């Protein structure tokens, strides 16, 4: 309540106050690169222009029947979610799988990871591999090693993370960049357009980026 | 403890006592026919030769982005599991999906359903569509309507259940039949073979039918 009063007294209206708040507040983002054999995960904290590495890892499920492997993915992702309480989750959206069999396995691993996050009511955003590469390297068809290198540079890491964990961090970074761009666009739009136009733009974007 | 003593005094050894127990005790089986648009579920109680219908239904997720639809499947299946506390779950194992895109969607729905059940530590068994049709109709390539009709007859239902719910009940019935056959085989094997041979047979079957 005190915070609201402070912002209201220093800004033109409540809309500007909310934009200022969203710019300074930090957001913990969980990125996931799902797979039936290996599922990579990475957590970053995005605060304005700053990005901070929190944790990354690879969940290895081994061979054998799929149901117990899905349980491992579900439980391990849930433990990560309960430990870090991320505000948002980003996951790769696969459009072109190699074949129906691998698509079915990947789909089940993806379903397990999404359920583990959505069980805690965390919003999920989806990005294609090209969107992730474009956001991190600047090229939609960048090589895997380029993505790994840029993840290391952007998060100021002492060593390059493993392939799946690096991909998960790249997805989280892509989401952080998209969020930042959206906040900047909102901020600029609020200066230029009246409230009705802004509302219409936000409504359209909301459909595309959040659930 | 009293029950154990009773069985031990009336049977040759503990193995026979366990077989007798498994024959008389009832088992609640949850069958699931997953799909990204519609997920069918059916519950039956199997007690010796008797089969009793408990509940069936279809979870409709609607259109739009997949993550919130997976959440609906996960939450609804979990509610069913918490209400009925099934002992076992059976689900269709898909080997040949039509195309990678539909396989990916089906996989995610399947992953959500399996996680909802495995989160409650319930064992999951998988059967192919041919195995289910063979168990219910007696033909591996039976038509959908034949399966629906046999589900109605076997469970003594007043009306034919909806397609997805009927498929889910058929999977549960297939599991009940397989369990019954396994118990009978175990019972006959214990009379004919020494304990070492029986142990080896059981070890192989365990790998194939349970997790």
> ipTM surpassing 0.90, yes or no?
no
Helix (H, G, I), strand (E, B) or coil at B96: coil
Average pLDDT on A44-73 reads: 93
Residues paired with A42 in a beta bridge: A31, A56
3-state SS, one letter per residue, for B38-72? EEEEEEEEEECCEEEEEEEEEEECCCCCHHHHHHH
| Confidence at residue A142, expressed as pLDDT on a 0 to 100 scale | 85
Query: In the beta sheet, which residues pair with residue B31?
Result: B42, B90
Pairing of strands B26-33, B38-47: antiparallel
The distance between the two most distant Cα atoms of chain A, rounded to a whole number of Å, is 62
Q: Which two tokens stand for residue B39?
A: 């997920």
What are the residue ranges in chain B where pLDDT is below 70? Answer: 1-24, 95-98, 180-211
- In angstroms, rounded to a whole number, what is the distance separating the alpha carbons of residues B184 and A101? 35
Neighbouring C-alpha atoms within 13 Å toward the C-beta of A15: 13
What is the arithmetic mean of pLDDT over A77-83? Answer: 96
DSSP string for residues in B129-159? HHHHHHHHTS-TT--HHHHHHHHHHHTT-SS
Tell me the CA distances in angstroms from B184 to A1, B10, B48, B87, B156, one per residue in order.
70, 19, 10, 19, 24
The reply to whether A167 belongs to the active site is: no
| A51 strand-pairing partners | A46
Comparing A145 with A21, the larger pLDDT belongs to A145
Q: Which residue has the higher pLDDT, A112 or B139?
A: A112
Residue B147's contacts (CB-CB under 8 Å, 6 or more residues apart) are: B132, B133, B136, B137, B166, B167, B170
8 A C-beta contact, residue B151 and residue B166:
yes
Annotated active-site residue in A33, A76, A88, A167: A33
Q: Do A119 and B74 touch (CB under 8 A)?
A: yes
How large is the average pLDDT for residues A86-111? Answer: 86
A146 vs B180, higher pLDDT: A146
- In this predicted structure, which of A98-102, A151-155, A183-187, B102-106 has the lowest mean pLDDT? A183-187
CB of B57 within 8 A of CB of B72? Answer: no
Contact in structure between B126 and B93 (CB atoms under 8 Å): yes
Numbered residues of chain B with Cβ closer than 8 Å to any chain A Cβ = 65-68, 70-71, 74, 94-112, 114-116, 118-119, 124, 126, 211
Give me the catalytic one of B45, B76, B88, B164: B164
Q: What is the C-alpha to C-alpha distance for residues A187 and B131, in angstroms, rounded to an integer?
A: 59
- Distance from C-alpha of B186 to C-alpha of B51, rounded to nearest angstrom: 21
Residues in chain A: 211
3-state SS, residue B91: strand
Determine which of A50-64, A82-96, A184-198 has the lowest per-residue pLDDT on average.
A184-198
C-beta of residue B82 within 8 angstroms of C-beta of residue B120? yes
The answer to whether the CB of B92 falls within 8 A of the CB of B168 is: no
Residue A147, C-beta contacts closer than 8 angstroms, at least 6 positions apart = A132, A133, A136, A137, A166, A167, A170
pLDDT, tens digit, for every residue of B34-90? 999 999 999 999 998 899 999 999 999 988 889 999 999 999 999 999 999 999 999
- Name the least confident of A4-18, A109-123, B98-112, B179-193: A4-18
pLDDT at A195 over 70: no
* A33 annotated active-site: yes
DSSP string for chain A: -HHHHHHHHHSSSHHHHHHHHHHHSEEEEEEEE--SSEEEEEEEEEETTEEEEEEEEEEE--SS-HHHHHHHHHHHHHHHHHHH--SEEEEE--S--SSHHHHHHHHHHHHHHHHHHHTTT--EEEE-HHHHHHHHTS-TT--HHHHHHHHHHHTT-SSPPPHHHHHHHHHHHHHHHHHHHHHHHHHHHHHHS-HHHHHHHHHHHHHHH--
Lookup: tokens for A160: 């390059």
| Residue B149: closest CA among B134, B160, B162 | B160
**B70–chain A nearest CA distance, Å:** 7
Q: Do B115 and A110 touch (CB under 8 A)?
A: no
Which chain A residues contact residue B105 at CB under 8 A? Answer: 107
User: Which residue of chain B comes nearest to A120, CA vs CA?
Assistant: B71
- B76 included as an active-site residue: no
Q: Let me know: does B163 contact B59? Beta carbons within 8 Å.
A: no
Backbone phi and psi for residue B56, each to the nearest 5 degrees, phi listed first: -150, 160
The domains of chain B, with CATH numbers, are 26-209 (3.30.420.10)
As a whole number of Å, the CA-based R_g of chain A is 19
- Asked which of A24-33, A83-92, A167-176 is least confident by mean pLDDT, the reply is A24-33
Are B140 and B187 in contact by the 8 Å Cβ rule? The answer is no
């Amino acid at each position: 309540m005190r915070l609201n009063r402070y912002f209201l007294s220093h800004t033109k209206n409540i809309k500007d106050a909310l934009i200022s708040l969203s710019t300074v507040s930090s957001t913990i983002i969980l990125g996931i690169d799902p797979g039936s054999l290996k599922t990579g995960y990475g957590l970053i904290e995005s605060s304005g222009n700053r990005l901070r590495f929190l944790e990354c890892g690879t969940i290895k499920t081994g061979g054998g029947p799929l149901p117990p492997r899905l349980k491992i993915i579900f439980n391990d992702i849930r433990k990560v979610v309960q430990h870090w309480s991320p505000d948002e989750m980003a996951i790769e959206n696969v459009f072109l799988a190699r074949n129906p069999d691998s698509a079915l396995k990947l789909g089940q691993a993806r379903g397990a990871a999404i359920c583990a996050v959505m069980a805690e009511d965390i919003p999920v955003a989806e990005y294609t591999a090209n969107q992730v590469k474009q956001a991190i390297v600047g090229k939609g068809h960048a090589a895997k090693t380029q993505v790994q290198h840029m993840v290391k540079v952007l998060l100021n890491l002492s060593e390059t993370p493993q392939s799946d964990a690096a991909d998960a961090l790249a997805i989280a970074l892509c989401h952080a960049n998209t969020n930042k761009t959206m906040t900047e666009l909102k901020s600029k739009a609020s200066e230029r357009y009246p409230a009705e136009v802004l509302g219409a733009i936000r409504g359209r974007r909301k459909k595309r980026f959040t659930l």
